[in-house]
Structure formats: structure tokens, C-alpha cells
Structure 1
Amino acid sequence: MASTDPITWQLALAVQAQLQLIRKVNGYFTDIGDLVLLEESVTPTKDQIPVVVDVNTSRLSTDPNVNRRQRSISFTIEAAVKASLSNAKQLAHQIVGDVESAFSKPQASITGIANAKLTDSTILKRPDGLDAIVVQFNGTANYLPRT
């Protein structure tokens, strides 16, 4: 049965599902899969590292090897590690490794979405004076708009 949600929201759900696999019991360094949010209204518990997924922009794909109607969509993943933790920088680097590893594995199939991949990652130390180290990932995926 096809989802009635827009394909852009389906991408957000697929990225969330991929990130929710990140748990130590699955061989990862961290348990960031415990709190992967699509909305920022949830307050994490003391030990949780919140991970937020945002689908940002959609544009015609510039890749000459794809269908002319195909669109490219960008997404952002952010994880905030409390800077006051004694191993905050180590955790930030473990999150980079975990997310990159999760995206190297087969992803949930969504009809019409192809090639979801990470394009870059950045570790931001105390952005805007926050008491956090923010790990930010950008990614893209291609899709054909519904007609």
C-alpha cells in the first residue's frame, strides 16, 4: 500500500528509521537511535543525545545521468552532545562514525526515492554559545515527483 504522505516527508521518515538502528546492541559506538526526532518539541532525558532530521530543499537534479524530471532533495541531521560531558568530543566523533556507518548499509526502500547519501559532516563546538557540541550532517536524495 502506497503512503499518502508527500515523498519529501517519506524521506524524513526513512532517514529517521535508518538512524534509529544506531544502538550499541547493533554494533555501533552510541545509542543515538534512542531519540531521533522529526519535530524539536521533545525534551531529551539526562542521558539522551537528541538527533533531529530536517528535509530542507527540493530542486531539479543537475546530474546529467538522471531523468530530466528527477528532483534532488537535501536533508540535515543534527545531534547535540552536552559540552560539559568529560568525553563530549569523543562522543561527537563516535556519532560521525555511527551515522556514516548507518548510511553505508542498505536503506529502507521508498518508491520513487533513490541514492540517499551523506554529502558532508561537521563538528560545531558550542555554536551560538550553546552548552553543546553539535554534529551536523548534510545529505541528498533523488526522486521523481508524482504526476
Structure 2
Amino acid sequence: MAEPISWQAIEGIVALLAMIRTANGYFTDIGALAETEPFQGEETEPNLAVLATAFEPKEGKSSNRLRREDMQVTIEFSVPITEKGAQQLAHRGLYDIRKALGYTGRNLPNSTFGLTVTSAQILPRPDGASSTVAQVVARIGLEERLATASSQES
């Protein structure tokens, strides 16, 4: 059985972000850091995580055989403040992430559509925080064919 389309979309986005290398014309090499799990523990090195954060049905676009919905995806790139030029690196990472998400023709499953960036920001750093965080929020459409009762019984 194939993975849920939402997970396939996350893996496709991680693959898009993995292209972020200076050799490919980007400012940074953060593509090597792309993960599907948020970083846990003491941050001593930059981290890049991709997370599905919300699902919203597309009104009037679904049926009993087809489900269409938008998935919100949050991508966070964190840079420890001990890293030299942390603010500059956060800005470069933010730019690179937005650029990589523009190459939607590859790596994404056929049952996804409309990957768009809805916001991008450098988050305010609270007192005592150990890192600067660049955050990109994107939306991607998902389309899934639903099994009918008769096909499930076979």
C-alpha cells in the first residue's frame, strides 16, 4: 500500500529543498539538512524541517470518490546565534527555500497541485532563544481517489 498522499507531498517538498546547494546556484547548502522531523535538543548547527500543519477541504471539489484538499506546510530553517553571520544566513536560507519551492515541476507526486508560498518571515527571537528562525509557509493541493466499498471488499 502506498503512503498517504500528504506524506508523499512532504517527501516531494523535502526533495525540492534537497536541491539547495551552492553548486546549483543557491546562496547556501542547506539542502543537506532537509528533514521531515523537527529538531529536538540543543541547537549547535543549522536545521531545516518540513512539517504538515493543517488540512482544509476544497469546497465543492470533492465527491464520494475523490477528495481534494489543501495542505499547509511549514518549513523552518533555524540558525544558532553562535553561528557567524546568523542573521545573514537566515536571510539567505529564506531566499533559497522560496526559490527551491518555485521548481514544482519535479519531485512532487502527480496527485498534488498548486504549491505556493503564502508567507515567509524571519521570526522575532525571544529573549534567551538560542537560534534565529526563518519560516516559510506554503500551501499545496492534494487530490486522492477514494476506494469504494466494493473495491475494499475485493
Superposition TM-score tier, normalisation by shorter sequence? 0.7 to 0.9
- Opposite residue 110 of structure 2, the aligned amino acid is T
Q: CA deviation at 1:41?
A: 5.8
Please state if 1:51 is matched with 2:48: yes
Per-residue CA shift, 1:46-76, capped at 9, x if unaligned? 5x521001011111125xxxx6112111100
Provide the alpha-carbon RMSD of the alignment: 2.2
8 A contact 1:83–1:126 mirrored in 2:
no
Tell me, in whole angstroms, the C-alpha distance in 1 between the residues paired with 2:125 and 2:70.
31
1:68 aligned residue (50, 61, 84): 61
Tell me, in whole angstroms, the C-alpha distance in 1 between the residues paired with 2:71 and 2:95.
23
**Residue 114 of structure 1: aligned partner:** 113
Per-residue CA shift, 1:118-139, capped at 9, x if unaligned? 1111101424732100001101
**Residue 140 of structure 1: aligned partner:** 139
Q: CA deviation at 1:35?
A: 1.1
- How does the TM-score come out when normalised to structure 2? 0.81
8 A contact 2:71–2:141 mirrored in 1:
yes
Tell me, in whole angstroms, the C-alpha distance in 2 between the residues paired with 1:61 and 1:97.
29
Aligned residues: 140
Please state if 1:30 is matched with 2:28: yes
Percent identical:
29
- Opposite residue 68 of structure 1, the aligned amino acid is K
Change (3 A) 1:72 1:128: farther
Structure 2 residue ranges without an equivalent (≥5): 63-67, 147-154
Q: Secondary structure at the match of 1:144?
A: strand
Deviates more, 1:49-58 or 1:123-132: 123-132
